[in-house]
């Protein structure tokens, strides 16, 4: 099984992350420190109350890959604080969030 290209190419990883910031609302490194408007916007997108929207993080997204294979590729960490987003093809931190969160994660 091959490693995703973005795990081997930091420039591609960065490009994919930036695209996700611009097109899919990939949030800040520490979403706990953002203003209330950030979470109100996410809640509207997810059609949830703000308190529930705050639980939709990369760490529990169905596209967040923290498998041993992804760790070996360098796209995830053993502690799960870094995982590879299968949907947008870049490594992301567990606490972050984007507009395309999906249930069922993480991929282990």
Mean pLDDT, each 10-residue run in order, the chain (108 residues): 96 98 91 83 96 95 98 98 98 96 95
Q: How far apart are CA 39 and CA 49, in angstroms?
A: 9
- Residue 15: the pLDDT is 98
Q: If 0-12 CB within 10 Å is exposed, 13-18 middle and 19+ buried, where does residue 69 land?
A: middle
Residue 93 in contact with residue 29, Cβ under 8 Å? Answer: yes
Q: What is the pLDDT of residue 69?
A: 98
- pTM, 2 dp: 0.93
- Separation between Cα atoms, residue 33 and residue 100, nearest integer Å: 21
Q: Is the N-terminal amide bond of 106 cis, ω within 30° of 0?
A: yes
Tokens 């990883």, residue located: 13
Q: For the chain, what are the domain ranges?
A: 5-93
């Amino acid at each position: 099984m091959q490693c995703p290209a973005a795990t081997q190419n930091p420039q591609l990883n960065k490009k994919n992350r930036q695209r996700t910031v611009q097109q899919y609302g990939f949030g800040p490194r520490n979403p706990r420190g953002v203003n209330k408007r950030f979470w109100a916007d996410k809640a509207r997108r997810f059609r949830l109350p703000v308190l529930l929207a705050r639980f939709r993080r990369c760490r529990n997204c169905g596209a967040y890959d923290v498998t041993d294979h992804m760790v070996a590729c360098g796209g995830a960490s053993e502690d799960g604080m870094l995982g590879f987003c299968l949907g947008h093809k870049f490594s992301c931190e567990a606490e972050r969030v984007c507009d395309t969160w999906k249930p069922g994660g993480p991929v282990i």
